Amino acid sequence: MNAFLRAVVRLGLNRHQVPVLGIRDGYRGLVRAARQVNADTDGLVRLKQEIERNIGNRGLIDAQQNIIQMDHASVSGIMGKGGTILGSARCLDFHKPEVRREVIDLLGKLGVGSLIISGGDGSLTGARLLAEESNLRIIGVPATIDNDLQFTEMSLGVDTAVHTLVWAVDHFIDTARSHRRVMVLETMGRESGDLARMAALASGAEMVITPESGALTESRMRGLAEKIEGAMTRGRGHAIVLIAEGVKFEPEQKRNGAYILRDAFQAYFQRAGAPFPDLEVRPSVLGHLQRGGHATPGDCILAARFAEEAWKSLLDSNGKNGITALRYNKVEIVPFGCPDLPERSIHSRAMDALHDDLANW
């Protein structure tokens, strides 16, 4: 997101000579600013003075300033940094139409004509509502490491998260290989297994389990354990198993999938007459490790391409509201509610088949 923010600000100032305001903490910052203005009759005057007085880094330093006029220095050196210097936060109040109306009124009073909103499904849903309820020009930008927005081939952050997962797998392999262990690593991905799928292909993980493959039953888990054991009888010395957090279980379970799978595998390996009764299974939930780290070149380039297309659409008198999307390696604007790319599911199945053929022993 920082790479994207830098690209939006620099293109606005350098190419288009248009001032850019940054909103701290996303919709929450807009709601706070709107309530600040509505609190008293001088609220709008004070907000405008604050924006004009505390430009760039001065505004960013002040944690109470919700709207900041960005300058060149404020986005210098941030491209590779993980996260976002503006911050991000959930805002349940933004679900209320009357609260969105307050935000729209505030933006009108500030002379804001366009919004660029970067985020996942929740952020883009908010963008769609603003587009429907106002005369603002709205461009959404997909940024979610789950890569679960099916209208685009890639979202911002995915490439970096895959890189981080491959780094993690490389470190777990050292222990797995040295101690002859099975490592079960849980990745993010509630609705889509793309993150786990890509990481498995790139890291050489022996097994990947995704939500698209259906719920895991006791029988299926025994079959997976049998597959690992069979490979070990043929000479494999360890196994890395990636499981996406969105994988369901039958019967339904409350615990993390990595621990459920560990128990099922361990019970199978320690059954009477098993060839490897001492084989240990170690689970790990990688969690928010995947959401940070230095942005990869691929993400920085995609961020710049998304920013350029967003500006192009906003400044086009015939342009429409929508979302940037990477489709067939071309960046374009698609409408809110755009149908899924049918190739996405086809590609996912092909990747699963490729991984199976590469990982079999």
Q: What is the mean pLDDT of residues 321-333?
A: 97
Tell me the per-residue pLDDT of 280-324, one tens digit each, with 9 for 90 and over.
999 999 999 999 899 999 999 999 999 999 999 999 999 999 999
In the chain, count H helices and then E strands.
12, 10
Tokens of residue 265, six digits: 């595998």
How large is the angle between the packed helices 218-233 and 257-269, nearest 10 degrees?
60
To the nearest whole percent, how much of the chain has pLDDT over 90? 96
Q: What are phi and psi of 223, to 5 degrees?
A: -65, -40
Q: Is 90 exceeded by the pLDDT of residue 80?
A: no
Distance CA 246, CA 264 (A): 18
Domain annotation for the chain: domains and CATH numbers: 2-156+295-340 (3.40.50.450), 160-292 (3.40.50.460)
pLDDT of 2:
97
Contact 333, 33 (CB under 8 A): no
What confidence score (pLDDT) does residue 188 get?
A: 96
Cβ neighbours, 10 Å, residue 273: 5
The beta-strand segments (E) located in 152-267 are 181-187, 207-209, 239-244
Mapped onto helix, strand or coil, the DSSP state of residue 239 is strand
- For the chain, list the strands marked E by DSSP: 21-23, 67-69, 114-119, 137-142, 181-187, 207-209, 239-244, 280-285, 322-327, 330-334
pLDDT of residue 163: 97
Q: How far apart are CA 216 and CA 212, in angstroms?
A: 11
Beta-strand (E) ranges in 174-278?
A: 181-187, 207-209, 239-244
| Structure-block tokens of residue 291 | 């959401």
H or E element at residue 233: helix 218-233
Of the residues 25, 146, 148, 194, only one is catalytic, namely 146
Does 195 score more than 90 pLDDT?
yes
* pLDDT for res 39: 85
Mean pLDDT of the chain: 96
Full-model pTM: 0.94
Q: For residue 333, how many C-alpha atoms fall within 13 Å in the half-sphere facing its CB?
A: 20
Assess contact for 97 and 126: CB atoms under 8 A. Answer: no
Say how far apart CA 259 and CA 267 lie, in whole Å: 12
Cβ(267)–Cβ(259) below 8 Å: no
For residue 146, indicate whether it is catalytic: yes
Q: CA-CA distances (angstroms) from residue 140 to 52, 188, 205?
A: 26, 23, 34
* Nearest alpha-carbon partner for 116 in 132, 131, 138, 135: 138
Structure confidence at residue 41 (pLDDT): 84
**Helical segments of 26-179, H only:** 26-38, 43-53, 57-61, 97-109, 121-133, 158-179
Return d(Cα 106, Cα 309) in angstroms, integer: 26
Answer for the pair 86, 7: CB distance below 8 angstroms, yes or no. Answer: no
